[in-house]
């Protein structure tokens, strides 16, 4: 197998330029990616399914070298990535033997950019954890320290990009799932604004508008150019936002002075570590050095109220998801095919009433409006996206006691308890710190729908990445790309590589 030895030195656009200029063959980067998958995946478990034959066929079908990212090896997250006649297992034993019957719009878009899909990246089961450690497939490991988590749910994508297996990979974000792995693995992770990308043909939105599709990458320019290709809506989408083609690319060179607020306190009540606080202060100083106006600010919304509404909404959609999967698989799941935590989400989704769901949606929209009004005086708000450096494998997954309690709730059919508001609120309030401690406030931008980006400007004293989040006004990804490009220039991270 011929290996393009400089492969890991280039981002996606750099590889595409070499191919377009005929300095290398489209086969060269693919061979290199395959070689790295075979070499590194046993250590990282970042790729749950390889698609080498499909990748070579893709190159043969694109002899004209069309696409912004022509010939760039690429991984689809094994979720929200339906590809006809291929599995989309979503980290679950239940789906291991089921092939999808259609291509979704996003998959077609990635193909049209010229990327060469060579595999499916690892996910936690159904994307419901902020760590990528599904029982069926085992943990995905962080290239910076293989004893530590990559975050989730786009953990496989982040591990693969951080380790240089591929320069760019599909990711999605329903509660931080692009930004948390990016922050944990030293990558650029932009969660786009709500409705920027389409879930056609199967859905209008996902998780009631909480979920967003996108990528993780190593460079800001790869992020800008890829989203420039992806943004847009199709007939049948329930809502959309106009996008002027080329805007994100133009933003790479803009250097407008911004008003930036930074926040150090979590409304959920979880104290960020000293490392996380230092990361925020470090980035605030970088922004000041660039000439931006920076000041400290605080959020006033009720974090526990937001978490309760968020949990009710997700649980309800998990139940609907299993209704949909039953039609695709041809049967419902067996108990041993789905993890305890996932089955509890499904059970609670069946236990909550329609009035609970509509209350949750109303509450999140009310919080979203108040947050956007409160922060409208800022061009960008800087906050932690993770509360500490990446934890060790196993620290985020539910412990044995939590799993036993979940089984008791389901076995004794105690779902009716969650219909008593005072009891429900008390249980969910206690659950929030236990389940959200690693990324307590990541859900906020999923609730508001605003764009937000995790940037890898900060590393801890023990050489672990600890990204921070910048969020902008609704539908203003351009400001984030502009600021990210400035930060990348003043504090470059592209040459930092994990020791594998």
CATH number at residue 226: 3.90.1300.10
Query: In the block, which residue shows the tokens 């729908």?
Result: 449
21 and 140 part of one domain: yes
Distance CA 169, CA 215 (A): 5
For the chain, what is the domain count?
2
**Half-sphere exposure of 417 toward its Cβ, with a 13 Å CA cutoff?**
14
On whether the CB atoms of residues 36 and 56 are closer than 8 A, the answer is no
**Half-sphere exposure of 206 toward its Cβ, with a 13 Å CA cutoff?**
22
Residues 6+ apart with CB under 8 A from 491: 286, 457
Query: In the block, which residue shows the tokens 């069309």?
Result: 66
Query: In the block, which residue shows the tokens 């693969």?
Result: 160
89 and 219 part of one domain: yes
On whether the CB atoms of residues 285 and 459 are closer than 8 A, the answer is no
Residues 6+ apart with CB under 8 A from 97: 87
409 and 481 part of one domain: no
Residues 6+ apart with CB under 8 A from 429: 304, 307, 308
245 and 307 part of one domain: no
Distance CA 218, CA 361 (A): 35
158 and 254 part of one domain: yes
The token pair at 98 is 């089921």
203 and 318 part of one domain: no
The token pair at 82 is 């339906």
Residues 6+ apart with CB under 8 A from 148: 141, 142, 184, 389, 390, 391, 392, 393, 464
Distance CA 62, CA 283 (A): 42
75 and 203 part of one domain: yes
The CB density around residue 475, as the number of other CB atoms within 10 Å, is 17
On whether the CB atoms of residues 87 and 102 are closer than 8 A, the answer is no
Strands of 265-421, DSSP E: 293-296, 380-384
Chain length of the chain: 500
Which value, to the nearest 10 degrees, does the dihedral of the CA atoms of residues 351, 338, 398, 410 take?
30
pLDDT of residue 333: 98
| Residues in a beta bridge with 170 | 215
236 and 160 part of one domain: yes
pLDDT of residue 302: 97
216 and 357 part of one domain: no
Residue 268 lies in a domain: no
On whether the CB atoms of residues 276 and 386 are closer than 8 A, the answer is yes
Distance CA 151, CA 156 (A): 9
Residue 129 lies in a domain: yes
DSSP reduced 3-state for 47: strand
Helix (H) or strand (E) run with residue 313 in it = helix 303-329
Residue 270 lies in a domain: no
Residue 98 lies in a domain: yes
| Residues in a beta bridge with 262 | 296, 382
Residue 449 lies in a domain: no
Residue 451 lies in a domain: no
Query: In the block, which residue shows the tokens 């934890």?
Result: 391
Residue 389 lies in a domain: no
122 and 206 part of one domain: yes
Residues 6+ apart with CB under 8 A from 330: none
Domain span at residue 228 reads: 7-259+477-490
On whether the CB atoms of residues 222 and 204 are closer than 8 A, the answer is no
Distance CA 243, CA 477 (A): 10
333 and 235 part of one domain: no
On whether the CB atoms of residues 142 and 390 are closer than 8 A, the answer is yes
**Half-sphere exposure of 288 toward its Cβ, with a 13 Å CA cutoff?**
11
- Planar angle of CA 292, 190, 368, nearest 5 degrees: 80
211 and 76 part of one domain: yes
The token pair at 117 is 């899909």
Helix (H) or strand (E) run with residue 57 in it = helix 52-61
Residue 183 lies in a domain: yes
Residue numbers in the chain where pLDDT is lower than 70: 1-3
């Amino acid at each position: 197998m011929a290996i393009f030895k400089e492969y890991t030195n280039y981002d996606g656009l750099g590889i595409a330029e070499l191919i377009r200029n005929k300095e290398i063959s489209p086969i060269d980067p693919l061979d290199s990616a395959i070689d790295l998958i075979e070499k590194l995946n046993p250590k990282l478990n970042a790729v749950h399914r390889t698609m080498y034959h499909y990748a070579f066929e893709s190159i043969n079908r694109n002899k004209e070298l069309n696409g912004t990212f022509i010939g760039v090896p690429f991984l689809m997250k094994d979720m929200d990535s339906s590809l006809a006649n291929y599995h989309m297992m979503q980290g679950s034993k239940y789906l291991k033997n089921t092939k999808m019957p259609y291509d979704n719009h996003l998959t077609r878009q990635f193909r049209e950019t010229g990327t060469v899909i060579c595999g499916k990246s690892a996910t936690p089961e159904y994307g419901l954890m902020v760590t990528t450690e599904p029982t069926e497939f085992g943990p995905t490991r962080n290239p910076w320290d293989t004893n530590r988590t990559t975050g989730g749910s786009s953990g496989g994508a982040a591990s693969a990009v951080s380790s240089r297996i591929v320069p760019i990979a599909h990711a999605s974000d329903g509660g931080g799932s692009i930004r948390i792995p990016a922050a944990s693995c030293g990558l650029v992770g932009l969660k786009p604004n709500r409705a920027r990308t389409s879930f056609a043909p199967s859905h209008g939105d996902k998780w009631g508008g909480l979920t967003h599709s996108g990528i993780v990458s190593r460079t800001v320019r790869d992020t800008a150019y890829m989203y420039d290709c992806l943004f847009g809506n199709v007939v049948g989408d329930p809502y959309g936002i106009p996008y002027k083609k080329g805007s994100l690319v133009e933003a790479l060179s803009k250097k407008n002075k911004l008003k930036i607020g930074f926040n150090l306190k979590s409304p959920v009540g979880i104290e960020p570590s000293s490392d996380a606080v230092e990361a925020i202060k470090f980035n605030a100083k970088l922004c000041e050095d660039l000439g931006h106006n920076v000041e400290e600010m605080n959020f006033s919304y009720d974090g526990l109220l937001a978490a309760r509404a968020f949990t009710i909404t997700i649980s309800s959609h998990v139940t609907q998801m299993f209704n949909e999967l039953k039609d695709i698989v041809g049967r419902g799941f067996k108990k041993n095919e789905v993890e305890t935590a996932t089955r509890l989400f499904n059970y609670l989704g069946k236990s909550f009433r329609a009035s609970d769901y509509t209350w949750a949606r109303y509450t999140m929209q009310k919080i979203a409006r108040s947050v956007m009004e409160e922060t409208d005086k800022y061009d960008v708000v800087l906050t932690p996206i993770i509360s500490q450096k990446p934890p060790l494998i196993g620290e985020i997954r539910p412990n044995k006691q939590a799993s036993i309690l979940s089984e008791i709730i389901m076995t004794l059919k105690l779902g009716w308890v969650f219909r008593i508001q005072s009891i429900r609120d008390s249980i969910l309030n206690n659950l929030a710190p236990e389940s959200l401690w690693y990324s307590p406030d990541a859900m906020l931008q999923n609730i508001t729908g605003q764009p937000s980006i995790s940037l890898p400007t900060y590393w801890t004293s023990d050489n672990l990445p600890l990204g921070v989040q910048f969020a902008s006004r609704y539908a203003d990804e351009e400001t984030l790309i502009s600021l990210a490009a400035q930060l990348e220039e003043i504090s470059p991270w592209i040459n930092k590589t994990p020791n594998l």
